[in-house]
Chain A
Amino acid sequence: MNNPSAPVEIGRANAHDVRILWADGHESVYPAADLRLACPCASCAQQSAPRPKGQIRLLPAGIQAVHPVRIELIGQYAIRVYWSDGHSEGIYAFERLRAACPCCGVERLA
């Protein structure tokens, strides 16, 4: 991999969460619920669109129990996550994942 922020390994951090090891040695752990809420598919993205000020976002029931069942590579730029709730439409680009690494805190996943 020439790109230092390209992933070299994608696996489990624990029973629920996703761990990505990047080419520059950095390690990111994405909580499953945050990743599921950040699903970039058209349907989910519409639901998580910006809300009017003061409006509370209601989280789906059982979101904390949702976990990835399988992850597959999409070309050279992204992954698709197959979730335990049956959803699998979202394609998560590496660039977006790296920018939203929870420990770096530059961007939020969702």
Chain B
Amino acid sequence: MTSQETGNSIRYVIPVASGKGGVGKSTVTANLALALARGGARVGVMDADVYGPSIPMILGVTSLPETDDQDRLRPVDQDGLKIISMGFFMAPEQAVVWRGPMLHKTMQQFLNGVIWGELDYLLVDLPPGTGDIQLSLCQSIPITGAVIVSTPQDVALNVAQKAVAMFRTLNAPILGIIENMSDYVCPHCGVHDEIFGAGGARTMAERLGVEFLGAIPLTAVIRRASDAGRPVVAAAPDSAPARAFAAVAEKVASLVNARPEGADTRPRVTF
């Protein structure tokens, strides 16, 4: 997406969605962004979960965005990522209680009122569901491909397929599905346990005809790193969880680069 009006040039727009809440979208978004940036890409993170913004905490952001003389927002620059979030504009004890038009306006402002500059990737951390924010995003900007996050159990997968259906309805491509909290390895005895099951996302990806992007293990290392504001890809890049995120990032990069010629072409409007 290149806009002469905003001066922004964004090569790939990748929403991270789930359908169901609590499956680790924000954690996946933060670590995927860091993994892509470690590969040399210029990456922005737009926290579109205006109801429950968690990107600032997960990425340990303590500074606030500033505005230029045209009242445009400069995203916070941290760990090589450009970051914008509703969390920057609300106190933790405040809640966003908005109807659709306000949410739409916020999405417009996050896309067009932010000085993103030149980015290879803009990852958009979506709230759960298939509602106003998802629709506003898909109406406002051409999507390169959505990433769907699900945990392996049926209750999450059943809702995740609604997210797939939503993007298909809106003609937005889907890059694939990530299985989060896939496998638990006891740090004391090394025994594997499939707490939420395993392989469900891969099976669903096959059934729905989308790519399986990889599995992220369920481990306290990821949780502790996120709570400390230093995601595992930054804190322990050689750890098994960080390597899992790196593998997903590699797959995402290969998929967006392998898209057929003209995949971004929008119809010409001569009206």
Contact A1 B265 (CB under 8 A): yes
B63 interface residue per 8 A CB criterion = no
Q: Which residues of B from 56 to 107 have beta carbons under 8 Å from A?
A: none
CB-based contact A75/B271 at 8 Å: no
Chain B nearest Cβ from A23, distance in angstroms: 9
Q: Decide if A9 touches B268 in the complex (CB within 8 Å).
A: yes
Interface size in chain B (residues, C-beta < 8 A): 20
Chain B contacts to A: CB under 8 angstroms = 138-143, 169-172, 260, 262-263, 265-271
Which residue of chain A lies nearest to B135 when distances are taken between CB atoms in the complex? A75
Q: Tell me the dominant secondary structure on chain B's binding face.
A: loop
Known: A9-B270, A18-B271. 14 other contacts (CB 8 A): A2-B260, A2-B263, A8-B268, A9-B267, A9-B268, A9-B269, A10-B269, A10-B270, A11-B269, A73-B266, A73-B269, A74-B139, A75-B172, A76-B266
- Given A2-B263, A6-B171, CB of A68 within 8 Å of CB of B271: yes
Asked if residues B263 and A6 are in contact (CB atoms below 8 Å), the reply is no
Contact residue among A7, A71, A76, A91 (Cβ-Cβ distance under 8 Å from B271) = A71
Q: How many residues of A contact B (CB 8 A)?
A: 24
Chain A, residue nearest B169 (CB): A77
Closest 7 CB pairs of A and B: A11-B270, A77-B171, A71-B271, A76-B171, A7-B267, A75-B138, A75-B139
Report Cα–Cα, A68/B270, bound state, in Å.
12
A77 adjacent to B138 (CB under 8 Å)? yes
A8 to chain B, nearest CB (A): 5
Nearest B-chain residue to A23, judged by Cβ: B267
Q: Which residues of B contact A26 (CB under 8 A)?
A: none
Query: How many A-B pairs with Cβ below 8 Å?
Result: 61
Bound CA–CA A12/B263 (angstroms) = 25
Interface membership of A70, Cβ < 8 A: yes
When chains A and B are docked, how far (Å) is the Cα of A74 from the Cα of B141? Answer: 8
The distance in angstroms between the C-alpha atoms of A110 and B140, with both chains bound, is 27
- Pick the residue among B171, B263, B268, B269 that contacts A75 (CB under 8 A): B171
Q: Are B171 and A12 in contact (CB under 8 A)?
A: no
Q: How far is the CA of A84 from the CA of B266 in the complex (A)?
A: 25
The interface centre, meaning the residue of B138, B169, B171, B265 with most chain A CB atoms within 10 A of its CB, is: B171
A24 CA / B140 CA spacing, docked (Å): 26
Q: Per a CB cutoff under 8 Å, which of B140, B172, B262, B269 touches A1? A: B262
- 17 residue pairs from A and B, CB less than 8 Å apart: A1-B262, A1-B265, A8-B267, A9-B267, A10-B267, A10-B271, A11-B268, A11-B270, A18-B271, A70-B271, A75-B171, A75-B172, A76-B142, A76-B170, A76-B172, A77-B169, A78-B139
CA distance A73 to B267 in the complex (A): 8
Q: What CA separation (Å) do A72 and B267 show in the bound complex?
A: 10
A8 CA to B266 CA, complexed, in Å: 7
Give Cα distance in the complex from A100 to B255, angstroms: 34
